[in-house]
Amino acid sequence: MDALTGGALTGAWELHPSVSLRPEPFGALAYHFGNRRLTFLRHPDVVSVVRALADHPTVDAALGACEVDERRWPSFHRALATLAASEMIRPRTSAGDDEPVQEAC
């Protein structure tokens, strides 16, 4: 995957358009209608970051906007890399990728 270097996601990312998130008390269920994978997002903070990815130029920008403590970023990077490997999130390729939106979660 070209946007995954050294175990960290680089560049702009977004929730895959074939993925639906269903809110749950523990976080959310993510279902990919294309590959039929079901993934548990086990914390509301992860759900917030996944939803915010499309609004920010990098994963780190989304983590910062969602006010995730920087000490937790390595675990979020691992979780997001797993979501990328299962095609739940994908590199953003649409127009306007380079413009930061700076919205909070």
The reply to whether 2 falls in a domain is: no
Domain ranges, residue 83: 7-88
pTM for this predicted structure: 0.84
The answer to whether position 68 is within a domain reads yes
Question: What is the Cα 91 distance to its own chain's centre?
Answer: 10
Residue 98 domain-assigned (yes or no):
no
Burial of 48 (0-12, 13-18, 19+ CB in 10 A): buried
CB atoms within 10 A of CB 43: 16
The CATH number of residue 28's host domain is: 3.90.930
Q: What pLDDT, on the 0 to 100 scale, is given for residue 6?
A: 56
Q: Is the pLDDT of residue 5 over 90?
A: no
100 in any annotated domain? no
From 56, 66, 59, 63, select the one nearest 96 (Cα to Cα). 56
Answer whether residue 96 is part of any domain. no
59 lies in some domain: yes
pLDDT tens across 7-59, in order? 678 889 999 999 999 999 999 999 999 999 999 999 999 999 999 999 999 99
> What was the pLDDT predicted at 54?
96
Q: How far apart are CA 61 and CA 24, in angstroms?
A: 25
Helix axes 44-52, 73-85, angle to 10 degrees: 70
Task: Judge whether 32 lies within some domain.
Answer: yes
Domain count within the chain: 1
Q: Is residue 82 part of a domain?
A: yes
Residue 3 — pLDDT band, cuts 50, 70, 90? low
